[in-house]
Amino acid sequence: MRFTRAAVALTAALGLAAVSASPAAAIRYGEPDNEEHPYVGIMVADDADGTPMWRCSGTLISPTIFLTAGHCTFDAANVTIWFDEDVNDREASGYPLGGETSVEGTPYTHPAYDDAAFYLNDLGVVVLDEPVYMDSYGVIPEEGYFDDFFVKRGQNKQLFTAVGYGLQRSMPAGAGLTERSLERRQATLKIINQDAAFGEKKAGNSVLFTNNAATGGTCSGDSGGPIFVEGSNVVAAVTSYGLNAICAGTGGGYRVDTADDLAWLATFGIFPGENWETPEG
The full set of domain ranges for the chain reads 5-20+37-137+260-266, 147-258
pLDDT, residue 69, reads 96
CATH (residue range 147-258): 2.40.10.10
Tell me how crowded residue 36 is: count the other CB atoms within 10 A of its CB.
14
- ω before 96 within 30° of 0 (cis)? yes
* Conformation bin of residue 108: beta by default, left when phi > 0, alpha when psi is -120 to 50: beta
* pLDDT in single tens digits along all 281 residues of the chain: 122 333 333 322 223 332 333 344 345 456 789 999 999 999 999 999 999 999 999 999 999 999 999 999 999 999 999 999 999 888 889 999 999 999 999 999 999 999 998 888 999 999 999 999 999 999 999 999 998 887 766 556 899 999 998 654 443 444 433 345 688 988 888 888 776 666 565 567 888 888 765 666 667 667 899 999 999 999 999 999 877 665 666 788 999 999 999 999 999 999 998 877 666 54
For the 5-20+37-137+260-266 domain, the top CATH level (class) is: mainly beta
Q: Which residues pair with 44 in a beta bridge?
A: 55, 80
Could you give the dihedral angle defined by the CA atoms of residues 273, 106, 19 and 15, in that order, rounded to the nearest 10 degrees?
Answer: 130
Structure confidence at residue 215 (pLDDT):
63
C-alpha torsion 222→224→227→232, nearest 10 = -110
The burial class, CB within 10 Å (0-12 / 13-18 / 19+), for 267 is exposed
Strand extents, DSSP E, the chain: 26-28, 31-32, 40-46, 52-60, 65-68, 78-82, 102-109, 124-128, 159-169, 179-194, 206-211, 217-219, 226-229, 235-242, 249-255
* Closest of 235, 281, 279, 275 to residue 257, by C-alpha: 235
> The pTM is what?
0.85
Q: What confidence score (pLDDT) does residue 249 get?
A: 61
Provide the residue type at 124 as one letter.
G
147-258 has the same fold as 5-20+37-137+260-266 = yes
User: What pLDDT does 276 receive?
Assistant: 76
Q: What is the pLDDT of residue 29?
A: 57
